[in-house]
Amino acid sequence: MIRMTELVRWVGAAILVAASGMAHSASAAPRSFDLADPMGRNAVALTMESRYQPIRGIAQEVQGSLSFDPETGACSGTIELVSSSVHWIGDDLDEDLFGPSWFDVANRPTWPITIKAAAHAEALNDETWQIAALGAMVVRGRAGGVNFPLTITYLPGGMSERTGGVVSGDLIVVRGGLSFARGEYGLDPASLGGDLYGDEIELNFSLVGWSAGS
């Protein structure tokens, strides 16, 4: 079910965006797509190796927005993981993860991944672009460069189709992933049992972004 409070907010945003963009074609310039999914389905999967088996987790709340041009594949913006929504599955790690040695949730409420530009964009078909993203990530207050592949599929009228006509607008589906060494961001291995856990954390995501239609 669509969250009604979110729906009201998004419909209001749609009116503002549509009013400001009436003089422009949908393909004339990059469009802004909101990643705060009102249906609550956007998430980022995490994997961390351990001595015995991979430890898997999920960030259950995603914010941010992406600017995307369906005509050229140009993109920029920020994917924000909400730190308090990150949970490891089947292992008692959440208390450590929320503390100051890891995500420091009390002081760092979000975990932003910024896409600064597309180094390369190739159209795979009429809907989908394959993109080499140049970006940066901030974890626990430490910033580092990250470059990673994305595919972005543009679906005109996709929001209306997805919501059964309750909300109009266009969608993008953003798929990609990256990996990073947790030591580079000051995530303390000692708090998790030293050498029991690997240094690399892998992120994978498939996200929906929404924009008001033209």
**What phi and psi, each to the nearest 5 degrees, are found at residue 9?**
-60, -45
pLDDT digits (tens, 9 = 90+) for 69-105: 999 999 999 999 998 898 888 767 777 778 887 888 8
Distance CA(96)–CA(117), nearest Å, equals 34
Q: Is 23 exposed, middle or buried (0-12, 13-18, 19+ CB in 10 A)?
A: exposed
% the chain with pLDDT above 90: 48
Mean pLDDT of 19-40: 69
Supply the pTM of this predicted model: 0.81
> Could you tell me which residues come within 8 angstroms of residue 189 by beta carbon, excluding any fewer than 6 positions away?
182, 183, 195, 197, 199
Residue ranges and CATH numbers for the domains of the chain are 4-17+38-211 (2.40.128.110)
193: helix, coil or strand?
coil
How many CB atoms neighbour CB 11 within 10 A? 15
